[in-house]
Every structure is written in C-alpha cells, then in structure tokens.
Amino acid sequence: MRSVRIAMRPPVSAPRGIGIDDWAWRRGQRYGTLICDLERRQVIDLIPDREPETVEAWLRRQPQIEVVARDRNGGYGGAVTRALPQAVQVVDRWHFLENVSAAFLAAVRRSMPTIRRSVGATEVDPALLTAAERLHYDGFQRRQHTNETIRCMAREGVPIKRIVRTTGLSRGLVRRIVRGERDDVFRVRQNSLTLWLPRLEDDWAAGCRNATELWRRLRALGYGGSLRVVGEWATRQRRAESAMLAGNGKCPPARRIAQLMTSARNHLSKADAVLVAQVEAALPALAATRLLVDRFVTMVRNGTAGDLTEWLVEAATSEIASFSRGLVADQAAVVAALTEPWSNGQTEGQINRLKTIKRQMYGRANIELLKARLVAAS
C-alpha cells in the first residue's frame, strides 16, 4: 500500500470540462464526491464528502473550467454557480429519462382507484374492435337482449312451448338459452364440438391454451372431429378474452400499466392495447400526460430544445407538474443538456470503477488509498 501511495501524482494539466457526482462510502449514511476530466476520461480528484461548501472551495481553485456536467442535485448546481458563474452547467440526460418515468409512474399510482374501476368493467367499447369483430359484437348484443327476455319468461314460470309460440324461436334454441349456453361474444357455427364444449371450457380455464393439445385430449376421449374445428374455437376464445374483460377485479400493477402506456402501440398485443385504451378513455388527463412524456423523451433523444418552453407551459398543469417545476428551476442547465455534446456518463462509469475497487479492499480503504488507486492509475 505504501508503493501505491508513492505513485500518486497530480494531474498533468488543468481540466476544461469536468463531470461531478457523489458516491457512497456507506449507502444512505455517508457520501463522497468524484470529479472526472471528461476530455481525458480520467478521475482527477476525490472529495471525502458532498457538502456544497467543500465542492465550491475545490472549484474556486480551478477557474479555467468551462463546462460542468452534473446530475440534478441542487447542492452541486449551487456550488458551481457561486464558484464558476461563467461555466456552462450540463444536467445528465439519463437522469431526465429516469425522472420523467418516475413522475409518470407516480401519476399512474395516484390514479389506480379509477383505473381499477375502468379495467373491471364488463362492457366492451365498440370503438376498440375491428370491423369484423364489431359485426360479431352487434349480433352478440341482439342475442343478449333476446336471451334476457326468454330467461325472464322462464323465471316467471312460462312453459317452453308458450315461449316458442310467443318468440317464434325453435324449441332447441330456447332450451339452450334457458340453460345458459348462448353467451359467447364471437359466435360461429358449432357442429361436432357441441357435446364437448364443457370439457373444452374446463381445460381452457385450467390454463391449456394450445389448440393442438386440446384436440389431442378430446381425441383421447373419443372425439372424431378435426384439428381445424378446435383451432377455430380456441381463436374465438382468445378474441373474446381480448375484447371483453372478465370483470373479476384483477388489475395489472401500476408499474406495468405505466410501461404499457409509454410503449409504442404497434408493439402491444391486442389485449394490452385494449387495456391501454380502457385506461385512457377513463382518464383523459393521464392520456394527455402520456403524450407530454412522449414529447419530452423525443426532445431528449433528438437533442432539440426548441419546444422546451411550450412543453414546460403545458406540463405545468398536468399530472407531472412537479417534474416540470424542477426543470424550470434549472432551465439553463436543461437547455444545455439538450443542445451540448457533454454528458455525465463518463463520471458514472468511473463511480462504478470506484465501487469495484472498494469491494476488492472489502470497503476498508481510506480516501488517500482510493485516490492512489483511481487517480494514479488513470
């Protein structure tokens, strides 16, 4: 360790652009500060704490610094402003994406009671269906009205023969309605499967969703129909589940809903797309917030700040208003982050290297030894 400390040497030249970030001596209790030369991609100093006064004193000894890349820590920003008022401050872009995602997740969590009610609805929005599915659904609604009429007559004790005469329907159809056998959404003609429907529905409810496996199980019991008939039935069941939610009170967690809402729609399955549409129909404010998040992510990824002022005005009255207020308070650094090529990613990488070195020494290294192993080895 003496030989390592002897190898310590000061930086070759004064840095022009630096990255600054904190690192943990012990997570949640004690922190230090790492300063990285962004041009030479090397650590130039370690500070044993992250107090703004200590960082400010270090910066005052480096008046030639022109660019400081940092995270959204207000303490570092104030220290840079006081010590180097002429320096350009650049907020790390990765923290933008992390913070706006966290803000949107918080908005989804606040809206979960309404989301649970909307997801638990048993009604289908026809606007969410394709043209072919809408035809099926219109027929389903007519059948539901007829079914309810016949069941009311049956509950009142009207004989099936009189129901047949009154409605003009066949005796077999009236019997199926009374028994509850005509409630599927996407209905097609059924022939050889009619007698095997109870077994199919039991296997489907048990989790078997593969049409070939369902057909094999029926064949073992004596079913003589083809695989195509079973495959059509399984496809119809999947469509019904996608378009009509079960209404059993189950709802995906807030993190999953936020992920689905911020994903590209062409990457979602039909069931997920219907879920997102249900949520956005019930919560227009959350849908508008999702559009704001998409616009902000586009600005960060494309490096454009022209629409930032307008975006901040719109976001001030949205579900992520607290996030937008934080950007307004640090707007100059935000604009620099969207337009300047500097990034704090190099500093984050050096902190990961520091963590590895600390683990190699079982966390027992003091500040001088850490400097020797980081600065001298750079």
pLDDT reported for residue 288: 93
Q: How do residues 284-304 score in pLDDT, each as one tens digit?
A: 999 999 999 999 999 998 888
SS3 of the chain: helix, strand, coil, percent, to 5: 60, 10, 30
What was the pLDDT predicted at 128? Answer: 55
Taking residues 172-201, report their average pLDDT. 69
Kindly report the CATH class assigned to 2-92+343-374: alpha beta
User: What is the three-state SS of 266-313?
Assistant: HHCCHHHHHHHHHHHHHCHHHHHHHHHHHHHHHHHHHCCCCCHHHHHH
Burial 79-105 (b: 16+ CB within 10 A, else e): bbeebbeebbbbbbbebbeebbbebbb
pLDDT at 95: 86
Residue ranges of domains in the chain: 2-92+343-374, 128-243
**Cα 81 to Cα 329: distance, rounded to the nearest angstrom:** 13
Between 111 and 272, residue with greater pLDDT:
111
pLDDT range class, residue 238, cuts 50, 70, 90: confident
pTM score over 0.75: no
- Residue 369: strand pairing partners: none
Report pLDDT for 92: 86
pLDDT tens column, 351-362: 888 888 888 877
